[in-house]
Structure 1
């Protein structure tokens, strides 16, 4: 079983990202479970969402306390949230940032970065000050894990996103192509890990 924790802020599409990724994994033949955790429900407040996936039925119904991987949609959360809390050694951390050096602070974890905000702005997803980055982050995450396949991601976006579908798909594909791995990390997605 793989467990993934998403960190973001209200209004960034963090929960929708977990749902789209869950649907993509489901289309790729996995059993999935996804759920959010909200603190203060307002735009800009920290939000967490979780995703479990496995080749067998998932019977566990608890929160995720020791995720295999973490996806961080707002790098400023690093100042106030311990994103490595419970993260298993060797797990992936994906950061939305234009600064690849931000990934160097996480010893014991595999790290990657993608400038999802720039990609979202390029495809007119949200505004310059409030880009909607969730589909770009999903594309980058699919690359670092080596799963689910992009055709499953594309189909899930079409199913879950009612507007600007082509722009969201283009953002996911661009992020897939542009994700940067830290100097100590190699692209190591392994479909046999699940």
Structure 2
């Protein structure tokens, strides 16, 4: 059992934090995991990439994920670059932070293949409601848990609470709630349906 995730977003969206939270949750569950930031420009708004590997066996590779099982896209505009989906297999999954439906995405000139499984979650909208600003990372982590079924929601909640403990209990609680809301949006979907949440 393994899951290789590549996360694409922009500086300020918590891309590296998302990879770390997933890896800590996996580790807390007794799995092997690693988070790999891609070092480059990390200024606000600049494209940022991070990777996370999760496995029930020791992980020998320490290079960025080039053949992901799942690509998380925190900023919809990044899908104009074909490199965002590079290495994704035909049965891979793309998780996109957007309120738009799939037909609308296809008409918008964004790169839409070759992945068969597309899931959309309005993570910015959810975050604005609970945090007052668009920080999509914890919502999208919850969606990953719902899509894959690989991690326990409780493990993810624990990793979020530890990461945000220094910002106050209300911030940690809001981020856990974001993950739960996104989990609920996608957990009932049939994997491979090609539908959106």
TM normalised by structure 1 equals 0.86
Aligned partners of 1:31 and 1:90: how far apart in 2?
A: 24
Tell me, yes or no, if structure 1 residue 28 matches structure 2 residue 29: yes
Partner of 2:149: 146
Counterparts of 1:184 and 1:34 in 2: how far apart (Å)? 26
Distance 1:17 1:183, change over 3 A: closer
Q: 2:147·2:191 contact (CA, 8 Å) conserved in 1? A: no
Distance 1:182 1:99, change over 3 A: farther
Q: 1:23 & 1:183 partners in 2: Cα distance? A: 25
Q: CA deviation at 1:81?
A: 5.0
**How many residues are aligned here?**
183
Q: Is the 8 A contact 1:33 1:51 kept in 2?
A: yes
Name the CA shift for 1:114/1:182 in 2 (closer, same or farther; >3 Å): farther
Flag the 1:55–1:183 CA change in 2: closer, same or farther, 3 A: closer
> Aligned partners of 1:20 and 1:183: how far apart in 2?
23
| Pair 1:161 & 2:161 matched | no
Unaligned stretches of 5+ residues in structure 1: 188-194
Counterparts of residues 42-191 of structure 1 (less than 5 Å): 42-101=43-102, 105-125=112-132, 127=133, 131-162=134-165, 163=167, 164-179=171-186, 185=193
Once superposed, what is the RMSD of the aligned Cα atoms?
2.2
Q: Summarize deviations over 1:88-137 as a string: whole Å, max 9, x none.
A: 22011100000122566334421101000010011025x2xxx1111101
Distance in 2 of aligned mates of 1:143 and 1:35: 22
Contact 2:97 2:122 in 1 (8 A): yes
User: Any unmatched runs of 5+ in structure 2?
Assistant: 107-111
Q: How far apart, CA to CA, are the structure 2 residues paired with 1:140 and 1:32?
A: 18
